[in-house]
Amino acid sequence: MTNETRAIYLAAYASLRATYADEVFFLKRIFWVLDTFEILEEASAIGAAPPLVTWALGIIYAQVPAIFGIQDEAIKALTWLTKNPKTEPTPGFHREAYRYLGELHADLGNTKFVETYKKKSGYSATPLKTLFMGWFSTSKEKGLFSRQLRRLRRMGFRRLPRQPQLVF
């Protein structure tokens, strides 16, 4: 396995752990989160980490409470993504970076950046209840898996929602 592949696998594993953190017993959760941080740091320390690793690190760090003191690292990772658009493997990949940059700056009181990042993300003012949507949604209008939903509707599944709600 190449170092790049290993880094991507570790980032994916950390993302899965992050989605499961709410299910972990409260007293064990802090150690669960710290272990997840170690996995992310190991992934980012492997040579030239792919953008997916930076994306996972930024998205996960952006969602932990301020008591962990890693907002600056989240802002650094997410800002790097937005300043390097050529690293975006598919349209919409950096959508979450903009979303969480806006939320982090709002938490830190940097109001001049909040509206700009919110607009670039394409999300409304209503906070989402998902961990991330990422590149799965290429536009606000089309939403998630729109092509597959249209195909299913043509096959007779007419009662499918226009915009599916995913909860991780």
List the domain range (segments joined by +) for residue 47: 3-127
* Cβ–Cβ < 8 Å for 95, 137: yes
- pLDDT tens-digit readout, 52-99: 899 899 999 998 888 888 999 999 999 998 898 888 777 777 888 888
75 and 97 co-located in one domain: yes
pLDDT of amino acid 130: 54
Of 91-95, 122-126, 135-139, the poorest mean pLDDT is in 135-139
- Output 126 or 69, whichever has higher pLDDT: 69
Cβ contacts of 122-126, under 8 Å, gap ≥ 24: 122/95, 122/98, 123/99
Residue type, 30: I
- Asked if 134 and 93 count as a contact pair (C-beta separation under 8 A), the reply is yes
Residues 117, 56 within the same domain: yes
pTM passes above 0.75? no
Residues 119 and 145 both lie in one domain: no
Cα 38 to Cα 61: distance, rounded to the nearest angstrom: 12
Claim to verify: residue 26 and residue 82 sit in the same structural domain: yes
In this prediction, residue 158 carries a pLDDT of 57
* Total domains in the fold of the chain: 2
| 60, amino acid identity | I
Residues 22 and 64 in one domain: yes
Specify if 119 maps to a domain. yes
Q: In the prediction, which pLDDT does 154 show?
A: 65
Structural domain contains residue 105 = yes
Q: Are residues 156 and 114 part of one domain?
A: no
Asked if the structure places residue 132 within a domain, the reply is: no
Between CA 110 and CA 47, with CA 80 as vertex, the angle to 5 degrees is 145
Q: Which pLDDT tens digit goes with each residue over 95-119?
A: 888 889 988 998 888 888 888 888 8
d(CA 116, CA 108): 15
Residues 6+ apart with CB under 8 A from 65: none
Give the integer Cα–Cα distance in Å for 120 and 167. 23
CA distances from 2 to 6, 45, 46, 92, 168 (A): 6, 14, 10, 27, 29
Q: What is the model's pLDDT at position 143?
A: 47
